[in-house]
Amino acid sequence: MKLTAKLTLLFVLLTTLPLSLVGYLAFTNGQRTIHQNTVSLLVSINNLKKANFIDWIENKKDRLSLFAKRPLIVEFSRILVSPGNKNTVEWQNASRKVTDEHFKVSIEGGGGFFELMILRPGDGMIVSSTDERNKFKYREDQPFFKKGREGTYVQNAYYSLSMGQALVTVSTPIKDEKGNLVAVLAGNLNLDEITSIMMQGSGLTRTKETYLVNKFNFMITESRLKPGSLMRRAIYTEGAKKALSGKSGVDQYTDYRGEQVFGAYSWLPEYELAILTEIDVSEAIAPVLAFRNRMITILILVILLVALIGIAVSRTITGPIRKLMTGIEEFGRGVLDKRIDVPSADEIGQLADTFNRMADERKRVEEELQKINKELEGFSYSVSHDLRAPLRAVSGFSNVVLEDYGDQLDDEGKRYLNLIVKNTSKMGNLIDDLLKFSRMGRTDMAFSTVDMKKVAMSACKDMKLVYDDREIEMSLNSLPSIRGDSKLLHQVFSNLISNAMKYTEREEVGKIEIGSKILKDYVTYFVKDNGVGFDMKYVHKLFGVFQRLHSEKDFEGTGVGLALVQKIIHRHGGNVWAEGKVNEGATFFFSLPVKE
């Protein structure tokens, strides 16, 4: 991994880990708090509504029983329930006065009952009612009538076919001063009123609602969330079941809509009603989710910020390093004037300074070496050049002596003179090669794209002419083209092939293989033979000037060929090396850089 990435990751980890931990703790803590709050809120709302409902209904009961105790009501009731003609003035009077002067006044005064009536205790006939239509109907089968004879009773939520609506009826006995039952007083209450008690204040939330369920599982108040539930929807939820079995509590369960809710439930034994307050889990935990989302957003922002900071900070470290790296690379490629500018005073700045100093030194040494080298080359050139003239004189005059004074010399003398001539000619060859070699260091090179195969083939052809008496098996593989000086590269192949031919002299069939191998930045060419080979011990001597591994008697030559090859390849920026084994052939490699 790159240093920038490493540093950035480290930064991010160091900041996000503690942040996530704190966030997680805050989240779970918040969740717990909200859950507790929700639960206690639901329970207190449920209790409040319960209290409101009980207040409301008890108030109605009180009103009704106070009503039943009014002496005039008792008196009128006695008349109304008495058997006999209902058309008497007394009866009509009582009926009118009860409804007009008492009942209607109470209803209009906002007593909460929408209908008040008096029932005959024997058969449940309505003898008087504020609703004229209900007069003389019978309610003998209704619980409010049966139980209302004994005490104040609430018949909760039933559907009256006769009234065409759902209602609650409160009833109470009307008794005379001796405590004898005279009649039953009953009042009808609208279920809407209970619904409005349950709905009060629910509007602040989206899903919170309180409702009542009777013992037959029917919802007796309207649902906020599913209108049309009043007296229609049967509730068999976990909460309702528990409440109906007399328990109170709070739970999470699936409600009648199939939604997950938190619900507080309670049983009202006196009225045989269950009261439930529920809120959707999704709404209850919405603040927690919002908090979580906020945390995640913050975390992402922090990560981004830290990553940016991390990248910026690591850039200040890696930037100079990279500069240093490219500088060194460039310097390595031979740009000796390359210096690295890192102004900081830290370790990297010091490193750059050190490098710069080293580069200065290196450049100085290199230039000095070049100078010395040039001087040396010039020297060897002039030496070899100047050597030729005296040598020619020695050779020339030796020949003159042989020709003009040969008869005055004995055989021994002639032989010596011949030796002198031969050795001067050999020395001449040596000087020629030396000249060639030193010239090589000075001539300019003409770079072009060289078709190496063509070059190698032409070199082969030349060499075959030289060694026309030999039987050679040549195999020439594909050779990629490369940039270089074609004349010099021709020289390289000529030398290597000539070498190979020379050292395979003793083989019946000389085998020479020329090939190549493409590496990333270099192409390596090789010339392989099956000749005498060499001992790897002396491999370092192969490319030295006048260095020879074999005696001149065995193989002729001056020992400049391979040195020349090395010089040419080095001037191309390449490299030469060789592999071999005694009597098992040798392979000479040279690699050249691939340049655009």
Partner 1 sequence: MRKAIGFSVIIFVLLLLVSCSRQEAPVPFDKVTVQLKWVHQAQFAGLYVAREKGYFAEEKIDVEFNEGGSNIDNVGEVTSGNAQFGITAPEHIIRERLSGIKIRAIAVVFRRNPLVFVSKKGSGIKRPADFLNHTIATSKDSRVQLQAMMEKLGLDSNQLKHVPYDRTYKSFLNGDIDIQSRYITGSVQQLMSAGYKFNIILPSDYGIHLYSDTLFTTDKLINSDPDLILRFLRASLKGWRYAVENVEEAVEITLKFAKEKDRELQTKMMEAQLPLIHTGEDQIGWMKAEIWEGMSKLLLEQKVISEPADLEKVYTMKFLEDIYGKMM
Stretch that binds partner 1, among 4-12, 135-143, 442-450, 525-533 (CB under 8 A): 135-143
Of residues 556, 559, 336, 321, the one with CA closest to residue 434: 559
Minimum CB separation of residue 228 from partner 1 in Å reads 8
Smaller CB separation from partner 1, 7 or 219: 219
Using CB under 8 A, which residues numbered 218 to 277 contact partner 1? 218, 220, 228-229, 231-234
Angle formed at CA 383 by CA 382 and CA 384, multiple of 5 degrees: 95
Select the residue interacting with partner 1 from 100, 140, 346, 584 (CB under 8 A): 140
User: Hey, which residues between 396 and 435 contact partner 1 (CB under 8 A)?
Assistant: none
Write down the least CB distance from residue 227 to partner 1, Å: 12
Looking at the Cβ atoms of 218 and 493, the one nearer to partner 1 is: 218
Neighbour order of strands in the sheet with 153-160: 126-129, 113-119, 181-190, 165-175, 153-160
Which of 44, 93, 136, 333 is in the footprint of partner 1 by CB under 8 A?
Answer: 136
Q: Is residue 159 involved in binding partner 1 (CB under 8 A)?
A: yes
Q: Should residue 89 be labelled a site residue for partner 1 when binding is judged by CB under 8 A? A: no
- DSSP strands (E only) in 345-457: 448-450
Q: Which residue has the tokens 């001067």?
A: 424
**Binding segment (CB under 8 A) for partner 1, from list 14-22, 96-104, 160-168, 300-308:** 160-168
Task: Return the number of the residue (139 or 572) whose C-beta is nearest partner 1.
Answer: 139
What number of residues does the chain have? 596
- Given the rule CB under 8 A, which of 40-48, 99-107, 159-167, 281-289 is the region that contacts partner 1? 159-167
Do residues 188 and 114 touch, judged by C-beta distance below 8 A?
Answer: yes
517: left (phi over 0), alpha (psi -120 to 50) or beta: beta
Nearer to partner 1, 235 or 264 (CB): 235
Task: Please report the DSSP string for 215-276 in residue order.
Answer: TTSBB-S--SSSTT-TTT-B---HHHHHHHTT--EEEEEE-TTS-EEEEEEEEETTTTEEEE
Name which of 166 and 225 has its Cβ closer to partner 1.
166
Name the percent of the chain in helix, strand, coil, to the closest 5: 55, 20, 25
420, containing H or E segment: helix 411-440
Q: Which is nearer to partner 1, 140 or 366 (CB)?
A: 140
Minimum CB–partner distance for residue 28 and partner 1 (Å) = 16
Which of 188, 191, 104, 175 is closest to 142 using CA atoms? 188
Q: List 473's β-bridge partners, or say none.
A: 511
Contact between 158 and partner 1 per CB under 8 A: yes
Instruction: Kindly list the distances between the CA atom of residue 166 and the CA atoms of 170, 178, 194, 531, in Å, as whole numbers in the listed order.
Output: 14, 36, 12, 121
- Tally Cβ neighbours within 10 Å of residue 13: 13
Least separation in angstroms between CB 302 and partner 1: 30
Helices marked H in 151-215:
191-199
Q: Which of 356, 572, 313, 541 is nearest to 452 (CA)?
A: 572
92 binds partner 1 (CB under 8 A): no
Considering beta carbons, is residue 220 or 472 the nearer one to partner 1? 220
| Minimum distance, C-beta of residue 242 to partner 1, in the bound complex (Å) | 15
| Residue at 402: amino acid letter | L
Residue span binding partner 1 (CB under 8 A) among the ranges 3-11, 154-162, 200-208, 540-548 = 154-162
Residue 303 binding partner 1, by CB under 8 A: no
Kindly determine how many residues on this chain lie close enough to bind partner 1 according to the rule CB under 8 A: 26
Q: Considering only residues 101-130, where is the footprint of partner 1 by CB under 8 A?
A: 123
Q: Which of 1, 161, 389, 465 binds partner 1 (CB under 8 A)?
A: 161
**Which residue lies nearer to partner 1 by CB, 257 or 453?**
257
Sole binder of partner 1 in the list 70, 137, 247, 570 (CB under 8 A): 137
Query: At its nearest, how many Å lie between partner 1 and the CB of residue 176?
Result: 27
Least Å from the CB of residue 51 to partner 1: 24
Binding mask 378-397 for partner 1 (x = CB under 8 A): --------------------
28 contacts partner 1 (rule: CB under 8 A): no
Could you give the CA distance from residue 282 to residue 270 in angstroms, rounded to a whole number?
Answer: 34
Nearer to partner 1, 125 or 542 (CB): 125
Task: Give SS3 for 589.
Answer: strand
Specify the stretch interacting with partner 1 by CB under 8 A; choose among 136-144, 329-337, 344-352, 588-596.
Answer: 136-144
Structure tokens at 267: 């049983």
Number of Cβ atoms within 10 Å of the Cβ of 48: 14
CB 472 within 8 A of CB 464: yes
Q: What is the DSSP letter of 444?
A: P
Nearer to partner 1, 241 or 511 (CB): 241
Instruction: Identify which of residues 148 and 484 has a Cβ nearer to partner 1 in the complex.
Output: 148
Residue of 57, 117, 157, 189 that binds partner 1 (CB under 8 A) = 157
Phi/psi region, residue 119 (left: phi>0; alpha: psi -120 to 50; beta: rest), is: beta
Binding letters toward partner 1, positions 189-218, x by CB under 8 A: -------------------------x-xxx
Side-by-side strand order, sheet with 575-580: 472-476, 510-518, 522-529, 586-593, 575-580
Residue of 83, 87, 89, 141 that binds partner 1 (CB under 8 A): 141
Closer residue to partner 1 (CB): 268 or 420? 268
User: Which spans of this chain sit near partner 1 (rule: CB under 8 A)?
Assistant: 123, 133-134, 136-138, 140-141, 157-162, 166, 214, 216-218, 220, 228-229, 231-234
